[in-house]
């Protein structure tokens, strides 16, 4: 029996798609037959990955520079995908950021607004625009990349945690708003060894903390997002919407 994770003929759009978890999802979708739209703020990084996808997998790849905190750029991204491919079947709201700050009293309104705009407002706009188009056509799947910080907030990530808690709420709300033709789910990620890990401090101390606090005794590798992403993107999850999957190795 053919695998239900086959995405041949599908179009997948991934924000924050040029590196980290986004890059792994782009590569996995293309490997299973999907054409891809790779969006991030840095066009050159998107173009390099697009060239790799077309060379290694023979799939069409559209690189688009987009700052998803700007709703006008979100709309332009949706239109660029529509113009090139005629539709989007899978949307992954993966782009995010969590700037460091000295203490909660040092969080400026500018930082707060920036974090909420990227992690919450942008995904809302893209889901509203592309989800509505999906619902009016053949349907589709939307995957929000949330964080375990949404339910385990720590002092150094409070704006980010608040935004991701909001993204969890949007996941359940949009699952109802776009039903029955569009499924909306979330992956609530724990710590993964991406570029962000460089800001965590001493690598050995981070590894030791992981061994002592995470059930699987390690940090996740970027490619370990793929199974969850393929499940939600494909027919494997045909009866699943409004779900929030913890993918954190057993973080307490």
Residues recognised as catalytic: 160
What is the β-pairing status of strands 90-93 and 140-147?
parallel
Task: Write phi, then psi, for 188 (nearest 5 degrees).
Answer: -95, 95
Torsion of CA 38, 44, 48, 54, to 10 degrees: 50
What would the two tokens of residue 198 be?
């460089």
Residue length, the chain? 252
Q: How many Å is the Cα radius of gyration of the chain?
A: 17
Number of neighbours of residue 74 by Cβ within 10 angstroms: 25
């Amino acid at each position: 029996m053919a695998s239900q994770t086959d995405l041949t003929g599908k179009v997948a759009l991934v924000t924050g798609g040029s590196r980290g978890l986004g890059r792994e999802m782009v590569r996995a979708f293309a490997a299973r037959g999907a054409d891809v739209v790779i969006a991030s703020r840095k066009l050159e990084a998107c173009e390099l990955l697009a060239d790799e996808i077309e060379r290694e997998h023979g799939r069409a790849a559209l690189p688009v520079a987009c700052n998803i905190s700007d709703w006008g750029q979100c709309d332009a991204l949706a239109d660029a995908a529509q113009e090139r491919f005629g539709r989007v079947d899978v949307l992954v709201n993966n782009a995010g950021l969590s700037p460091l700050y000295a203490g909660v009293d040092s969080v400026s309104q500018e930082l707060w607004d920036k974090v909420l705009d990227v992690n919450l407002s942008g995904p809302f706009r893209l889901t509203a625009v592309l989800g509505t188009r999906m619902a009016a056509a053949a349907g589709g799947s939307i995957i929000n990349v949330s964080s375990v910080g949404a339910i385990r907030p720590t002092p150094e990530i409070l704006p980010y945690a608040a935004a991701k808690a909001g993204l969890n709420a949007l996941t359940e709300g949009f699952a109802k708003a776009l039903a029955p033709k569009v499924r909306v789910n979330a992956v609530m990620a724990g710590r993964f060894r991406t570029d962000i890990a460089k800001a965590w401090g001493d690598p050995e101390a981070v590894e030791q903390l992981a061994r002592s606090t995470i059930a699987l005794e390690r940090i996740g590798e970027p490619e370990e997002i793929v199974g969850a992403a393929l499940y939600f993107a494909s027919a494997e999850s045909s009866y699943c919407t409004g779900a929030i999957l913890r993918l954190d190795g057993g973080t307490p």
